[in-house]
Amino acid sequence: MLDAPVSALPGIKAPDVNRLNKLGVETIRDLLLTLPFDWETYGEPVPIASLAVGAQATVVGTIISIAPKITRFKKMKLTEAIIRDESDAGLRVAWFNQPFVARQLHKGDRVAVAGLVKIGYGMLEMQNPHHERLEGNEEGEPSRVGGLMPKYHLVGGLSSKKIAGWVESALPLAGELEDLLPERVREHHRLLPVAEAVRLGHRPDTFAQWREARRRMAFAELFELQAAFALMRASIAAEPATPIAYSQDVIDAFKAGLGFELTRAQRRSTWEAFQDMEKPVPMNRLLNGDVGSGKTAVAAACVAMAHAAGLQSVVMAPTEILARQHLHRFRAYLEASFPGLTVELLVSSQSAAERRRVKTAAASGHCALVVGTHALIEEDVEFMDLGLAVVDEQHRFGTRQRELLRAKGQGRPHFLAMTATPIPRTLALASYGEMSVSVIDEQPPGRMPVETEVVEPDQRRRAYELVREQVHAGRQAFVICPLIEDSETVVARSATAEFERLQKDVFPDLRMGLVHGRLKEKDEVMRAFVSGEVRVLVATAVVEVGVDVPNATVMMIEGADRFGLAQLHQFRGRVGRGAGQSHCLLLTDDPSEPALNRLNLMTQIRDGFKLAEEDMRIRGMGELMGSRQHGMSDLAMQALQQPELLSEVRQEAESLLEADPGFEHNPLLKAAVARRLDLTSIS
């Protein structure tokens, strides 16, 4: 029953099932495990006679009439009741599309209702208020309505009230939930058993109970993740890899051929990777550095070292444009200093003959490095002796794709993943726990900071003027479309509409281009932008704009308030790469104070890691998006605010694996971990 889809809940309709699915709630188990993230209080009941229009209020009274009705205009079903209280005033209450209300409540019932007070047909009114029957309730006092109301994460069309109703009907099943936390761990950390945590989490009597329930759920989730990482680390460490000996000559030649000095952070990261590669077990390292921090040079140093040890390397990038950019850069970094080191490209748009040539070179050991896209993981690609596999923008690939790449050699190659999303240390440990992390927290010298401004709705014209000015001065601009939580088709359509509007009404004289995920010609458009033919590029957030266009000096982001700070910072990193002063314009549709305050952080903070931390702090406080991209619920994300918790969880998971290799004696945990390793794309 727990694994039944939510559609099995009594009275639930298909649209609501879809909405729940969107929130990641597919089964009854998911529903039970998703606790409210906060509570709403309406306060103590007040007399109807003293109600003020526009206020949130709680009222206790007697139903003097109640009947189902149909609205005259839109033919909506509703239940309408009149409630009267001791102040002898009446309140009309209307529940739309909630026919069950009419079955629950009857004339003469004492009820509590809580909601927004309005005026309708000359009478005080509440629409769709929370309600509770007080009969049979010992004190005749409202226990929930005027006290705590749960707040659940929502998508359009859902309400916390609805979710609370479904949870209510599912709660009797809580006793069947299996506890994946070993009892010893639970006792050690004084954590509630799962069934109790679920009951108290949804229906606590006190805030303290709810917090305890949340602590338990967050702990369990992090524990499951860390157990999965511990298992992965153990399995990687059990496989042999060919050690790559460190050579000072190689590093000297590499540095001599670069044309610039490595930054301190680059040297440190390179050194960390070299130390890993010297070992007879595979390196498994994440290179985490801000956009433009020079990760490619670090990877190139590793390639040079592998080559000197007689081993080949492979570098996989998510798009063809990036792969081509890497081809040029790796050649520039390596080919002059290491004459025998040839770099080849493998992408699906090449001719069959060219691909065959590259595949033969790889299989026969005649090229030292192959750079490419997904084409690299096709079955017929083989390497003679692969020593190092590198994945760029690693979050764009799934576990399986990375595994396929690693499997291209005999035995396991050393593995280096790169990500341009600065991740705070705790989050990195929590979501990439199976890897060691090198941080490049320093930019190469000489970069001019990007001037960042928040543009409120009525100043939009100014933003357009800046774009025009810069383009007239020979520069280029990006326009990023707002994030729409919907299908890719909808996103594509709205981007297209915005592109057409700008081209027609705002920049009729400028050459513009459009890229979105659905577009077949997106590589062509990107190339036209790189070459300078297209001056203004309209792009959706889903599209890879991770290419170097030093001539672009304006990054204009529509609906900036909908993005996380880390993501805004990513976009900003696309400009400021050339000599000219660059600008980042954050357009917002939401001029409210919290939104503006958050965006203003962008104007003050330039360090991607600091912004990521701020992002986490702010989102942790409630407004959460994108947490699932880290494979965690918002609850777990929030728990990460206490770094001690994470290290405790990590230790517990490790010592459990030591005592019980493979988690054979903890079958529930084993199953949960297996599910996670299969599903996750974060490792």
Paired tokens of 270? 């390179």
Tokens of 55: 């206020």
Among 11-19, 284-292, 350-358, 394-402, the segment contacting ligand ADP (CB under 6 A): 284-292
Residue number, 296 or 394, with CB nearest to ligand ADP = 296
Give long-range contacts, CB 8 A cutoff, 24+ apart: 598-602: 598/561, 598/565, 599/454, 599/560, 599/561, 599/568, 600/454, 601/565, 602/452, 602/454, 602/565, 602/568, 602/569, 602/572
Q: Which is nearer to ligand ADP, 81 or 317 (CB)?
A: 317
Q: Is 365 in the site for ligand ADP (CB under 6 A)?
A: no
Q: Does 443 bind ligand ADP (CB under 6 A)?
A: no
Region from 18-26, 42-50, 294-302, 472-480 binding ligand ADP, contact rule CB under 6 A: 294-302
Residue 295 or 359: the one with the smaller Cβ distance to ligand ADP is 295
Contact between residue 535 and residue 477 where contact means Cβ atoms under 8 Å apart: yes
Q: Report in angstroms how near the CB of residue 262 gets to ligand ADP at its nearest.
A: 5
Interacting residues with ligand ADP between 575 and 634 (CB under 6 A)? none
Q: In what order do the strands lie in the sheet with 312-316?
A: 343-346, 369-372, 312-316, 386-391, 414-419, 284-289, 436-440
Q: How far is the CB of 149 from ligand ADP (least distance, A)?
A: 46
Give the 3-state secondary structure of residue 174. helix
Burial 403-442 (b: 16+ CB within 10 A, else e): ebbbebbeebbbbbbbbbbbbbebbbbbbbbbbebbbbbb
Among residues 146, 289, 409, 482, which is the contact residue for ligand ADP, using CB under 6 A? 289
In whole angstroms, how close is the CB of 564 to ligand ADP at the nearest point? 19
Residue from 57, 126, 164, 297 that binds ligand ADP (CB under 6 A)? 297
Residue 113, CA distances (Å) to 56, 70, 84, 102, 171 in order: 11, 22, 12, 14, 23
Quote the CA–CA distance of 149 and 203 in Å, as a whole number: 9
Q: Which two tokens stand for residue 42?
A: 């309406």
Span of 160-168, 210-218, 261-269, 503-511 interacting with ligand ADP by CB under 6 A = 261-269
Does residue 448 bind ligand ADP (CB under 6 A)? no
Q: Residue from 128, 263, 269, 638 that binds ligand ADP (CB under 6 A)?
A: 263
CA separation for the pair 596, 601 (Å, rounded):
9
Closest CB 157 distance from ligand ADP, rounded Å: 40
Output the six-digit token pair for 176.
């069947």
Could you write out the DSSP letters of every residue in 260-314? SPPPHHHHHHHHHHHHHHTSSS--EEEEEE-TTS-HHHHHHHHHHHHHHTT-EEE
Q: Name the token pair of 115.
A: 């909601």
> How far apart, in whole angstroms, are the C-alpha atoms of residue 429 and residue 611?
18
Show the tokens assigned to 269.
């990261």
Residue number, 418 or 525, with CB nearest to ligand ADP: 418
CB of 582: closest distance to ligand ADP in angstroms? Answer: 14
Closest approach, Cβ 291 to ligand ADP, in A, equals 5
Q: Which of 5, 165, 292, 398 binds ligand ADP (CB under 6 A)?
A: 292
Using CB under 6 A as the binding rule, the residues of this chain from 391 to 430 that contact ligand ADP are: 420
Taking the complex as a whole, the smallest distance from the CB of residue 260 to ligand ADP amounts, in Å, to 4
Q: Does 291 bind ligand ADP (CB under 6 A)?
A: yes
- Only segment of 17-25, 287-295, 376-384, 527-535 that touches ligand ADP (CB under 6 A): 287-295
Question: Does 265 interact with ligand ADP (rule: CB under 6 A)?
Answer: no
260 touches ligand ADP (CB under 6 A): yes
Contact 389, 408 (CB under 8 A): yes
Q: Which of residues 373-392 bind ligand ADP (CB under 6 A)?
A: none
Question: Among residues 262 and 454, whose Cβ is nearest to ligand ADP?
Answer: 262
> How many angstroms separate the CA atoms of 121 and 91, rounded?
12
Pick 416 or 420: Cβ nearer ligand ADP: 420
Residues whose CB falls within 8 Å of the CB of residue 182, separated by 6 or more in sequence, listed in order: 656, 666, 669
5 binds ligand ADP (CB under 6 A): no
Q: Which residues pair with 56 in a beta bridge?
A: 116
- Length in residues, the chain: 683
In this chain, which of 5, 444, 578, 626 binds ligand ADP, going by CB under 6 A?
A: 444
Residues with Cβ within 8 Å of residue 266, at least 6 apart in sequence: 293, 294, 297, 298, 440, 442
Nearest residue to ligand ADP, using CB?
A: 294
**142 versus 608: smaller Cβ distance to ligand ADP:** 608
Rounded least distance, CB 296 to ligand ADP, Å: 3
Angle at 223 between CA 221 and CA 226, to 5 degrees: 115
Interaction between residue 293 and ligand ADP (CB under 6 A): yes
295 lines the binding site for ligand ADP (CB under 6 A): yes
Rounded to a whole number of angstroms, the CA Rg of the chain reads: 29
Q: Is position 296 an interface residue for ligand ADP (rule: CB under 6 A)? A: yes
Closer by beta carbon to ligand ADP, 262 or else 430: 262
Return the range that interacts with ligand ADP (CB under 6 A); candidates 57-65, 109-117, 255-263, 627-635: 255-263
Q: How far is the CB of 578 from ligand ADP (least distance, A)?
A: 10
- Closer residue to ligand ADP (CB): 513 or 546: 546
Task: Kindly tell me which of 297 and 637 has the beta carbon lying closer to ligand ADP.
Answer: 297
Is position 94 an interface residue for ligand ADP (rule: CB under 6 A)? no
Among the residue ranges 150-158, 295-303, 508-516, 528-536, the one whose residues contact ligand ADP (CB under 6 A): 295-303
Residue 620 CB: number of other CB atoms within 10 A?
17
Report how many residues bind ligand ADP under the rule CB under 6 A: 15
Assign 372 to helix, strand or coil: strand
Taking the complex as a whole, the smallest distance from the CB of residue 522 to ligand ADP amounts, in Å, to: 20
Taking the complex as a whole, the smallest distance from the CB of residue 604 to ligand ADP amounts, in Å, to 22
Least distance between ligand ADP and beta carbon 274 (Å): 17
DSSP single-letter state for residue 433:
T
- Specify the residue, 327 or 536, whose C-beta has the smaller distance to ligand ADP: 327
Q: What residues make contact with ligand ADP under the rule CB under 6 A?
A: 260-263, 266, 289, 291-297, 420, 444
